Chains A and B, each alone.
Chain A
Amino acid sequence: MAMQIVMDQTGDTRHSFNPEDAQELAKAERRFNELTGVGFTAAVRTASGEVNKIRSFDPTAEETLFFPRLVGG
């Protein structure tokens, strides 16, 4: 199972999906597009632990993390 983790006021909300299932994959891609469309940043971790920002849906990513847009403090 793959996971999309969305930071929010509850800490985070997790959406798991089976990347082998076309319907679930399409739903995950829609969620990705919706979130990035409203300004969320998406990031994935590589096997070595390095973090990368992604701009398009990665169906092979085991975990994708979303955080809201940044503002000056």
Chain B
Amino acid sequence: MFIVRGALLARVRSRVNAVRQLYRQSLDLVRSAKERRGLQLMQEWLSPAQRRQFETFGYFDVVGCTSGRLYRIYHTPMPPNVYEISRVGRRKHAVCFAPVGPLVKGDVMLAQKIALETDEQGALSVANVIPGPSQI
């Protein structure tokens, strides 16, 4: 009786695991499709120079519309991903802001670019600035 029960439980467990794995795989597929779409949209809206820079280095530079300061937007899994860049090309400080809501990375980067290029003061007014260089 215990042997039969044990075998039955093992079979149920194995099926549950298989369903779990399938669910995870389908979630990953959906997630990666969304991420790809976001990155594609972002690249369509980058200037040719920004696109080349992103394809080569995984980041692109943006010039603030008011101050003329240089910002670098990185493609990183975790924030912060926007840094003000010094004249000698070093990260001065992180500028942390993003559009509200669960957006994919490409969308977030594109919104950050547009905000800095068209309404730098508006972006900086909501941003948290983390002084000093930080490592990515």
Contact = CB atoms under 8 A, between A and B. Distances in A.
Interface of A: 5, 7-12, 41, 43, 45, 49-53, 65, 67-73
Nearest to B79: A73
A69 B128 contact: no
B45 A65 contact: yes
Contacts of B97: 70-73
Most B-side CB within 10 Å, residue of A10, A49, A69, A72: A72
B123 interface: yes
Given A11-B41, A11-B107, A52-B118, A71 B47 contact: no
A51 B79 contact: no
Contacts, number: 88
Interface of B: 33-35, 37-38, 41, 45, 47-48, 79-80, 96-104, 106-107, 110-111, 113-115, 117-119, 122-123, 126-128
A53 B118 contact: yes
Nearest to B102: A9
A11 B110 CA distance: 12
